[in-house]
């Protein structure tokens, strides 16, 4: 039989409920724990979100104090409580599921209750003695879930984007270093999986770096949309129960506290249900994921074989590849990153639907929207590190394999177009395919070019840059 002293009794609109005696959260958090067992991912899985909530509460308390709504001793201890939350010490006190009904009310109340109970202990009181510091009347003063929750999401995503971009920069540099290492490896380029024209593997890997580098600016620019918050909007944007001047001052205080250039939305009624910033940022992540997945596809193709594939590169062997085929090693790291990218693309659709589902003065679907974006950032950060550390950094080139493919490729006939014309080039290519003869020998046989000029044109190194036929 359970001992009653292990629990304390708290009450809300629906009545009384047992809360673990040592818990810093309270009755509304407990109801969320009981009601929402959905994703298995808890608020404590995203410490950046917890920190953002504490920043919001700290900024709100400072604003309330400056406007004469909080007495100094209570204010100072609320600030201390918020700082303790930001330190990470109380992350486990945020156990609610990331996906819940109620438009984020459970998240807001979780923060209100934890900060209130920490404050109570700092004041020398017991947890749950809310007459001295109330989750609603003091921690949530001049606020509503409808301005706290989206503002906290934005602060969290702004900071999470910084981490994502740093991870992205690291893998860009890894690809760029491989581009330098492989700058003398001549290989065939391919279009539609068919032989095209020669290039260097260095150019190929530099292109991987360049295409991902474009996304740094896209992600950062879209993350700037998160600096506009609706604090002071309260329930629907009218500012009911918030004092005059609260919105602007709260934004200024948040900017000071967080170091983020936070500003108050010019139209709080518009800003409260608006989720456009999430849509465009999620789209930028999807864009990067599509590119990253394409790169992983290329790495798998280039490493295919070792005897019956392209075999142009070697990926670091990470694990045995088959339970039945001895010696088989699979490209497991690009494969897992591919799957992360599919997840990101799917979550972007979730964000789209959730954003569209807003009705009138509020979008109640923000929990799943928030979870989808944060999950994407978490997945992508891990995937980028994994791809860089366990794959890209250890890639080696099969230089001779690549060179032999160039020498025996029909594709080099393209280089002859400016000199012998497309029609003659086509004839040479067709004959080479039918007879097995080399392009080189056929051109001489048909007396289309001198051997000296042909050697110059078909030197793989001379085909890596624009050509001027008028130098003949």
**Which residues are annotated as catalytic?**
322
Helices 47-66, 366-390: inter-axial angle, 10-degree rounding: 130
Element (H, E) at 263: strand 263-264
Beta carbons of 221 and 134 less than 8 angstroms apart: no
Beta carbons of 249 and 64 less than 8 angstroms apart: no
How far is 395 from 347, CA to CA, in rounded Å?
31
How far is 275 from 294, CA to CA, in rounded Å?
29
Percentage helix, strand, coil, to 5, in the chain?
60, 10, 30
How far is 420 from 407, CA to CA, in rounded Å?
20
Q: Which residues contact 136 (CB under 8 A, 6 or more apart)?
A: 112
Give CA separation, 9 vs 16, 33, 114, 156, in Å.
6, 16, 16, 33
Buried b vs exposed e over 413-439: b needs ≥16 C-beta within 10 Å?
Answer: bbbbeebbeeebbebbbeebeeeeebb
How far is 400 from 303, CA to CA, in rounded Å?
14
Phi, psi of 143 (to 5 degrees): -130, 170
């Amino acid at each position: 039989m359970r001992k009653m002293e292990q629990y304390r009794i708290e009450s809300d609109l629906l009545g009384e409920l047992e809360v673990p005696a040592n818990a810093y959260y309270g009755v509304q958090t407990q109801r969320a724990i009981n009601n929402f067992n959905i994703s298995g991912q808890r608020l404590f899985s995203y410490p950046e979100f917890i920190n953002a909530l504490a920043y919001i509460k700290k900024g709100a308390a400072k604003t309330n104090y400056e406007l004469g709504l909080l007495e100094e001793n209570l204010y100072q201890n609320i600030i201390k409580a918020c700082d303790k939350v930001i330190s990470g010490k109380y992350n486990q006190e945020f156990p609610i599921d990331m996906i819940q009904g109620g438009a984020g009310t459970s998240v807001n109340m979780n923060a209100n209750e934890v900060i209130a109970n920490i404050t109570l202990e700092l004041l020398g009181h017991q947890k749950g003695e809310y007459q001295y510091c109330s989750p609603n009347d003091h921690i949530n003063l001049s606020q509503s879930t409808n301005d706290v929750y989206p503002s906290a999401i934005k602060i969290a995503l702004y900071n999470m984007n910084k981490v994502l971009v740093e991870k992205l920069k690291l893998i860009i540099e890894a690809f760029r270093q491989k581009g330098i290492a492989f700058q003398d490896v001549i290989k065939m380029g391919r279009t539609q999986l068919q032989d095209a024209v020669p290039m260097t593997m260095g150019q190929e890997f530099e292109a991987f770096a360049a295409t991902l580098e474009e996304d740094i600016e896209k992600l950062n620019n879209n993350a700037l949309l998160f600096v506009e918050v609706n604090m002071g909007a309260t329930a629907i944007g009218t500012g009911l129960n918030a004092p005059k001047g609260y919105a602007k001052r709260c934004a200024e205080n948040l900017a000071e506290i967080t170091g983020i250039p936070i500003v108050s939305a010019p139209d709080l009624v518009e800003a409260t249900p608006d989720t456009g910033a999430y849509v465009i940022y999620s789209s930028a992540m999807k864009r990067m994921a599509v590119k990253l997945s394409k790169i992983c596809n290329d790495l798998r193709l280039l490493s295919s074989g070792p005897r019956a594939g392209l075999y142009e590169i070697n990926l670091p062997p990470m694990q045995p590849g088959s339970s039945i085929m001895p010696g088989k090693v699979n490209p497991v790291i690009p494969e897992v990153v591919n799957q992360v990218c599919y997840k990101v693309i799917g979550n972007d659709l979730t964000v789209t639907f959730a954003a569209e589902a807003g009705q009138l003065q509020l979008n109640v679907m923000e929990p799943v929207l928030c979870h989808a974006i944060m999950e994407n950032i978490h997945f992508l950060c891990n995937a980028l590190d994994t791809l860089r550390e366990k794959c890209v950094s250890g890639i080696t080139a099969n230089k001779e394999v690549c060179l032999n493919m160039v020498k025996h490729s029909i594709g080099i006939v393209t280089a002859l177009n400016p000199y012998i014309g497309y029609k003659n080039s086509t004839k040479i290519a067709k004959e080479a395919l039918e007879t097995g003869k080399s392009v080189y020998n056929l051109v001489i046989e048909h007396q289309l070019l001198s051997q000296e000029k042909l050697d110059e044109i078909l030197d793989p190194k001379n085909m890596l840059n624009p050509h001027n036929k008028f130098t003949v």
